[in-house]
Structure 1
Amino acid sequence: MLDKSQIITGLLEVMESNLRRQFNANKNASDGAINAESRAETKWDTCGLEASYLARGHALQFKQTAAQVDELRAMEAQSFVGKQIGVGALVKVDSDGETMFFFLMNHGGGTELKLDFGEVTVVTPESPVGIAILGKKQSDRYE
């Protein structure tokens, strides 16, 4: 069995890096929104308003990513041997002689992790691959 903790750690590193970037973007946007240069000079000047919308968007995205990171930190790797594929499952897919690994998660879809045993792509239950594999069992076929 492959070590899922390696995958969770790798995904956590990527998401924490995103969180730091979002924090900096949020800080810059917030500073821009309250900067004296953003103050409206005429009633048609919307620079300050636009900056405040941007700051709010960054703040919401930061909050969402922080919650996702907390959820990932609390996650414990579980075995899906003999069970239906669900969130937290590592799925090995053999297709036309090529082996691919997918890690089904609620967050982080599209993230590719290069690990000792190969490349793992994180997919969400809403993605096309996630929809195809969710609920399947070992040796099941999917289209």
Structure 2
Amino acid sequence: MNKTDLQALIIEKLQADLTIAKDALKASHEAATHAESKAENKYDTRGLEAAYLADGQRRRVHEIETALSRYRNLPVRSQVDEPITLGALVSLEQAGIGRWVFLGPDAAGLRVVVAEAEVQVISPRSPLGHALLGRCDGDEVEVLVDGRRQQYEIVEVR
């Protein structure tokens, strides 16, 4: 699995998300400023609701733009025989089931398929991402999720 290809796929997916978010921002801004959104009485909140939606869409566009910038500036480096840091691609095993995670600067939860394997982006702010920082091949990490302890073995770090 090539990390350069992985980062390119993440950037591509974020770019597609940005296009959708910008279209939604435009539509919500038009709805907020349209003449039909003007309040007809003191209980009519259509315009206010449309403005809140537009503000939320504006924030989402900003979040995606920030994530794109961080991924474009994230150096691709080998993590072989080094502790896990930002940009590491990690193979984990839990109860005999394997999965790949990429410790990225942002866009946690995003999933991409590389070389027929699904990779989930996690951030250092997540419990699993935080637990992985500084660990190496063969280490075990324990994470508390919904009040239950989950144990992972680090199989491989790239």
Q: Secondary structure at the match of 2:141?
A: coil
Which residue does 2:115 correspond to in 1?
116
What is the CA distance between 1:94 and its match in structure 2?
3.2
What is the CA distance between 1:117 and its match in structure 2?
5.4
Letter in 2 for 1:99: G
Greater share of residues in strand:
2
Counterparts of residues 10-29 of structure 1 (less than 5 Å): 10-29=9-28
Q: Distance in 2 between matches of 1:112 and 1:66?
A: 18
TM-superposition CA deviations, 1:7-60 (whole Å, max 9, x none): 101111111111111101100000001100001111222211221121111112
Deviates more, 1:59-68 or 1:116-125: 116-125
Aligned length in residues: 142
Which residue does 1:49 correspond to in 2?
48
Greater share of residues in helix:
1
Q: Distance in 1 between matches of 2:111 and 2:61?
A: 21
- Taking structure 1 as reference, are residues 54 and 117 closer, same or farther at Cα in structure 2, changes over 3 Å only? closer
Structure 1, unpaired ranges of 5+: none
Q: Give RMSD over aligned pairs.
A: 1.6
Which residue does 1:106 correspond to in 2?
105
Letter in 2 for 1:19: L
Deviates more, 1:24-33 or 1:90-99: 90-99
Which residue does 1:133 correspond to in 2?
132
Q: Secondary structure at the match of 1:108?
A: coil
Q: Distance in 1 between matches of 2:112 and 2:39?
A: 46
Q: Secondary structure at the match of 1:59?
A: helix
Scaled by the length of structure 2, what TM-score is found? Answer: 0.82
Q: Distance in 2 between matches of 1:135 and 1:142?
A: 11
Q: Secondary structure at the match of 1:80?
A: coil
Matched-pair contact (CA < 8 Å) for 2:70–2:106: no
